[in-house]
Structure formats: structure tokens, C-alpha cells
Structure 1
């Protein structure tokens, strides 16, 4: 203890609790060795109970393996992991990460919706983070506004890969608990199809829908009713999406094979970000930590500028709502 505060590993002094969820608690902490503030994640998932040491050990091994994998990811839109604190005597591991100084996207959206072009620029940054993770064989599986932090300059940082670490097989646990947030989980995951990067793209599409529409189209009174709505697939068309409508049309398809590949999606988001609805003072290239102005995929550069149809792809409008 230092000044009445808890110190982890004789080095990291817990200062303030920043938030908590099913995968653990995040603290603002002070690194006594390097004299800097960091974020310290206490990885203590609610599913790994003390009366099941075998399951707790399995979860521990998975989260450490995942943390080591994420530590190799070097991208400004992915939260940086500095260190793992773990020892046999410790009840659970701690992950030391960069402290992102800014609010979460969830906190930002509580103040009102985003303009379509602004949401498109944000989406490109999140997509860049997902592409980096997917190329390393990691699916996030919990893309939602609470897991996107915004730096002071507005650039997004994708954080909390805890579900990717803690679960790597079923979409539902043996107890029937959803691995992921019901409102943002892709429908194919509810049917037991895991490991597809397109599932993260569905979640990104739902995040963007919520960001511009200021409402969640699948939210119901109970988690079970929300899951049923996701499986039912009746998505009301957006009314405020503007230049982002085509992106939402492409992402929020029940069939993961019908969603656009990442390169095409980046091009689409770039087009939406550069639309007339974008504020002239904030062009996409002026936003730090996002990809540069996109080049269209090779098969689009000499054509009409419209992505060619893919088998099973959806290029029309949302079906009528219920």
C-alpha cells in the first residue's frame, strides 16, 4: 500500500476505478518505476468462479495468450499493451495498457448522434484496428461504443479484447450466457458460427447505425428479447444516415458472406467521409491515426467508381421494418 492505495507488483499504484464489465475492472494507475500514468486491467471475469479452479485456470491461460498476441499489434487505433502482471500466488492476472485520455464513444453518443461523415471517419479508424487484429488471427467479438475510446483529437482506439481472450469457441456458454453484447452481436454467432472476421464487421455496422440514428434498432426490454430480435433480422431502415446509408446496407446483412471485404469497406467509408455532409474544416486526411484517403480496390479504379456486385451481396435498401 502507498498513501492508503493498493500497489500491484510493487510498481503500479491504483488511483481510480475507470469502469468494469464481465471481463474485469479497469483502473487508472501510476507506474512508480517510469513515473507515468497507465491503465491497469484486473482480469477477473465473472464466469471464472472461485469454485471452479480448472475453468479459472483455462481462462487465465487464454487471456495471457491473447494479451501476448495483442502486445505484438502495433497500430495507433489499437490500445497498446505494455506489460502483464501474473504470478502463481496472484488470484488473477493484471494487464498494463496505455491510458487513453478521453471519453468513450458511448459517453460521446450520450451527448447526441454523430453526423454521417463524422461517423464514417470514426468507422475507418475502428476498421483499421479490426483489420490489424484480423490479420493477426484475432477476432474482437465485442465491438460496441463502450469499447471505443476517443483520444482528445477525436481519433478512435479499440480496446477491451477480453472476450476474444476469454472465449474462443461457442457463441453461447453452457449456462446460456451470451459471449458478447446482445445488441451488437452478429446473428451468425448466435447460431454457433464463430471465428469469422465478418462478425466484427456486423458489430461495426451496428455501432455506426447507433452513432447516426441515436437509437438502437434491436434493443428490447430484456437481453433474451434483444437476441430474438437479432435472429429475427427485421432491421428498420435508417433515416439519418445520409452518406453512410450504403455502408449500413452493406454491413448489416444476415449472411456474413454478403458483407463487403475490409478493403472495399474502407473505400466505402472514405467515400462517405468525403461527402458534402463532411465539415470543410475536418477532411478525413486531417484526422490523426486514421487511414489515408482511400484508393478504390483494383477492380473499381477504371470503372464507374461503384463497387462491382459480389455473389450474394446486397446493394439495395433495408427491408421495411416490422
Structure 2
């Protein structure tokens, strides 16, 4: 195990995870004003105090860092620093402590990079990823270190060949690690060093593989650097060709795809792959292609698609890997025709064959399936429902928060691959606090753009909360950018959700009666300014499916038992039931009509620059305007 992690950009800064949002920044815990007796913390926990030493920037077994983490034993030393086993003295949790080399920790460029990376690393949460706890500085020793959960198990590189892995085990391992890397990629970070050295096997089991050492993870901005610059990063035998300078150095999620395939190949062969040598040899071996003749189908075909030397011909994302394995999220399916209650159930499917909607017994249940699962539009128009809401208008004010909100709202249309709304702007003693909601393909860059917009107003940024910003796949970027170009202003809000999260529980009626599902609500306001409109379902993989194709179809659904309830005054409620947790989005297009499913709901691969021009031309001709909401189904309470 090597230590590939580094310090934050601000001395005495601690990054703590906060359950998926941007980790709060706080100073390290100083020694209390009135020192406790030697060997006892202010909490009454005994430990061995650190004695003065000549090498004050090195830690030793027995040290207690920040009065929290006791160093128990040395594990390994690598090019980036040292790794120790430790324990949280207040919770008894075993942890891994990775201490950066002083020379690296003193580099301001490294500090700046790791301040940004800490926000990503502490947000990573997946069974296939080792969980990062905190990035901190020890005030007495001055060392910078990162704490992760401790995984009790063998390193994959140490067990290659000990046990023959069968085909189901290999496929399961590939699916598990691909899902973990997908979670990292969707937060804007790529690993760049996927190799057997960076995979731990919990309890020595291949089906409990965990990825470690995201310390050289690089955000998706091609201009950003790693701790060793723009050059090589990773193990020579396992990196992708573009990491060696081939194919114009086009590094991205597809680079991890290549490396992951080599790891699975090494497990199948029971030995490391032989793709090293000199840089020239390594590049040449990759261009010649990888021999997969010993692999069985269907794994051989999946690995071949992952190991194309040219990144443009390779599977471009972990989503694509999972889809090819048959383990990806299902594509959404929504009704393509006005719903009419027939005497017997009607089943309609999307052209891509993904799901259906059902109508029968005089009660309609239009269903859509996104990455979040099966969503069935519920019946019933009775009962009050929250009205559609607009973002609160900012009253004329010279407050820092009002100025910051205006500045951020102005810059958001320029943030590529995103759809974001400012949901809160407050002035605090430490500066402006902002909260946003929506989706972003590169959350780190989006957050940086927001912070820079605020700073340009002369205000300081206390915090930017992205907890309600869902990551979205790169395949969705072209459509997001096209829709954002015709985005409606905040003063003309027609589509809203009363809340961002909908809790799942056992439903008593509807399509999922007796099953665990969430009952979601969409609020639609149709004023005289809306001549025609269409609704589309979205998912974080970039798939777009038609839901309501025009106003005429919507009118046909305004009947008792149908999912549309007329609340009066041009306000409507659309109720939907969802049976799986996750994010889902709705796109509303308004204008003079002519909405074409073939134009809007195209496959992600069909959204070329030519498509964007056709969409822009149609939008200009029809006076189209776009609105979008995202919400999440969660299962957090006992059912």
C-alpha cells in the first residue's frame, strides 16, 4: 500500500464529511487552555503524550493526532509518505492514517489541489470504495495526514494466483468495482491508478474488493494537474495508453475503464499483466492489443470493449461497462400516447425496449422507469396539494447575500453540463452561505464557478452547499447545454416540486399497493402565457423519455382516477409513485408547439453538434423555453 494523498491548501484546516454535502471546514482541535494531566485528554481518555523529538515532522507509534487518532503501528512506506494503523480514541474505530511527506506537504500547488480533492474524497460512499474520514493537520507536529476506514484484508497484488477465480466471481468483481468507480466519476474525480496494489480484499475475499488510494485522483477538468504534474501517474503495467502520452493524452473516466479491465484480466490469469518495460515498449504493447483468447464469454467481449487502445473506440464510462454486463441502471420509459382507459390492460414500450405503462380497470397508472426505478403515476384528484412555488424574489437590497445570489444566478447559465438553482443565500459572520440544487456533470468545477462569482462581488464565501446537487453522466452534457440555452427566467416558473426528497414507505393503494415506494408530487402552473407544452423524464445517465407530449394529451388525463388533478386557477398536481431510491428529473418545454420526441428524446449518442443546431433552430422557431426539476426518492426511515 502506498500513500498517495496530500494536504489541504490552508494550514490548520480540517475537512470533515457531512453525509454527502460539501464537508465543513474547521480548524484542528487545539490543546485546551487548561492542560489536562499528562496522558489524559480533555475527554478523560488516556494516551501516551508526544515527547519532544528532533524529527518533529514525523509521527511515531503512540502519538495521538489532534487528540483524536492514536497511532498504533506502522504499515508501509511509499513514494508519497507513510501509512499507519490507528484508532479513534473516542469511538474505538480502527482507521488507516496516511501521512504526507513534508516536501510534498509544503508545496502550495499540492495544498490547493488537496483542498479541492478533500471535498470529493470525503463525499465518496460506496461498498467498493474505502471511506475517507478526514483530512487534517496535527498542530503540535505540523504533519498533514488523511484518515480512512481500516480494511482488514489482503492486498490483491499479494494474492494473485493463490486461488482460481471462476467466471461468475470475475464478473461479480468487475461489476462491484465498476459501480464504485462510477460513484467516484459522478463526483468529478478519476482514480488514474487502478491496479492490484490499490485493491484490498476484505477478509481476503474477491467478492469484497475495495478500491483505495484516491490520492492521485484528478478532477475532470483537462487543465488541472496532479501532484506530479501533467505527466505519468499510475503503475506502468496498468495505466491506459493515453496516460503514457499516446492519443493526445486524453485522460478521463475511460482511462479507469482500461485499467480496471487489466486488473480483472490479472485476477483471471493469476498473475500481473506484462505491459511494462520502457515507455516505448508499454505504448507499443497496448497498440498491438491485449490477448484475451483464454477468457470465456461473455467476459471476453466486455474486456475487449474496455481495452480498446484508442480512447474514442473504448467504453467511455462505467455506466457503459455496467450496461454491457447487464448490470447497469434501466433506461426510463414513459407513455408515448395519450392514456385512454381500455377494457383490458394496455402495454406500450419505448423503441429501445426499456419499460411500459399500464392502463386498465378504468384507472390509469402511467409508469416511467429511470435509473431510480419504476415510477407509476398514481390516481386520485382529491385532497389539497402544495401549490407550485417560485424561487423567492430577492427584494432590493445591498446585502452581501442578495448581491451574491444575483451574481451566481448570472453565472450559472455559463456553467457547462449543469442545471442549477440557488435555493438559499444567507449573510453570516463568516461570509455568504449558499445552497444549490440540481445536477452537474462536474460538481467540483461548478462549485468553483459559484465561489468565484461570489468572490468577484467582494464578499467572502463561508460555504457552498452542494448536498442537493446530483452528479450526472457526461453523456447528458450535450442535452443539458442545449436546454440551458433556452432556460426560462426565475419569474416565469411553471414547474416545481414541494420538496427535494420523497420518503419511501409501504403504500396502501395504487400500482405499488403493499410494496415499498415513494409517493412523489409535481406541481404544474399553466397560465395564459403557455400556448403548448411537453414534459420529459430525465435520469442521471442522460436518457430522456417523453412523458406528456403536448397540451392535448395532458387534457385527456384530467379525469377522475388519472394522475392529473386540476386544483383551479391554472394549477395542477401530478402524482407519481416510485419503487426504487435515487434521483429523477422532469423537463418542461413550453412554446407554440411542434415538440418532437425524435428531436428532444434522442439517445445520448445521437446528440451531436448537428443535433444541437437542429434543436436550437426548432426552439427558436417555436419560442421554446425550458424548466427543469430534480428530486430524489429515499428510504431512510423504518417501514
TM bucket by the smaller chain?
A: 0.7 to 0.9
Is 1:36 matched up with 2:93? yes
Provide the TM-score with structure 1 as the length reference.
0.73
The equivalent residue for 1:75 is 126
> Considering only CA atoms, is the larger Rg found in Structure 1 or Structure 2?
2
Deviations 1:227-279 (A, max 9, x none): 34455434233414454111111100012122234333113335xxxxxxxxx
Where do residues 160-309 of structure 1 align in structure 2 (5 Å cutoff)? 160-164=213-217, 169=224, 178-191=232-245, 192-220=248-276, 222-224=277-279, 227-260=282-315, 261-270=317-326, 299=352, 301=354
Cα offset, 1:140, TM superposition: 0.7
The equivalent residue for 1:283 is none
Q: Pick closer, same or farther for the CA change 1:92–1:187 going to 2, 3 Å.
A: farther
Deviations 1:156-201 (A, max 9, x none): 2211001116997469957x97311111111012225254111110
Is 1:2 matched up with 2:48? yes
Which shows bigger deviation, 128-137 or 88-97? 88-97
- Please give the secondary structure, in 1, of the residue aligned with 2:260: helix
Deviations 1:73-95 (A, max 9, x none): 22222211112222577554211
Q: Pick closer, same or farther for the CA change 1:127–1:203 going to 2, 3 Å.
A: same
Deviations 1:1-29 (A, max 9, x none): 83962332232222222333333322111
- Please give the secondary structure, in 1, of the residue aligned with 2:162: coil
Alpha-carbon separation, structure 2, partners of 1:185 and 1:254: 11
- Please give the secondary structure, in 1, of the residue aligned with 2:216: helix
- Please give the secondary structure, in 1, of the residue aligned with 2:263: helix
- Please give the secondary structure, in 2, of the residue aligned with 1:103: strand
Provide the TM-score with structure 2 as the length reference.
0.39
Alpha-carbon separation, structure 2, partners of 1:238 and 1:85: 48
The equivalent residue for 1:99 is 150
Alpha-carbon separation, structure 1, partners of 2:87 and 2:122: 20
Does structure 2 retain, via aligned residues, the 8 Å contact 1:105–1:150? yes
Alpha-carbon separation, structure 2, partners of 1:96 and 1:162: 12
Where do residues 17-56 of structure 1 align in structure 2 (5 Å cutoff)? 17-44=74-101, 48=103, 53=106, 56=107
Alpha-carbon separation, structure 2, partners of 1:223 and 1:300: 48
Structure richer in helix, relative to its length: 1
Between the two structures, name the one with larger relative contact order (CA 8 Å, sep ≥ 6).
Answer: 1
Q: Pick closer, same or farther for the CA change 1:87–1:27 going to 2, 3 Å.
A: closer
Alpha-carbon separation, structure 1, partners of 2:290 and 2:140: 49
Cα offset, 1:63, TM superposition: 2.3
Does structure 1 retain, via aligned residues, the 8 Å contact 2:96–2:150? yes
Alpha-carbon separation, structure 1, partners of 2:262 and 2:254: 13
Alpha-carbon separation, structure 1, partners of 2:98 and 2:279: 29
Q: Pick closer, same or farther for the CA change 1:31–1:83 going to 2, 3 Å.
A: same
Instruction: Number of aligned residue pairs: give it.
Output: 275
Cα offset, 1:59, TM superposition: 1.1
- Please give the secondary structure, in 2, of the residue aligned with 1:72: coil
Q: Pick closer, same or farther for the CA change 1:49–1:228 going to 2, 3 Å.
A: same
Does structure 2 retain, via aligned residues, the 8 Å contact 1:12–1:29? yes
Is 1:115 matched up with 2:166? yes
Structure richer in strand, relative to its length: 2
- Please give the secondary structure, in 1, of the residue aligned with 2:292: coil
Q: Which runs of 5+ in 2 are unaligned?
A: 1-46, 50-60, 333-351, 356-604, 607-639
Is 1:15 matched up with 2:72? yes
Alpha-carbon separation, structure 2, partners of 1:212 and 1:86: 42
Cα offset, 1:68, TM superposition: 2.3
Alpha-carbon separation, structure 1, partners of 2:295 and 2:202: 25
Deviations 1:39-92 (A, max 9, x none): 1111338xx458xx4xx2221332232122111122222211112222577554
Cα offset, 1:211, TM superposition: 1.2
Which shows bigger deviation, 83-92 or 179-188? 83-92
Cα offset, 1:217, TM superposition: 4.1
Is 1:137 matched up with 2:188? yes
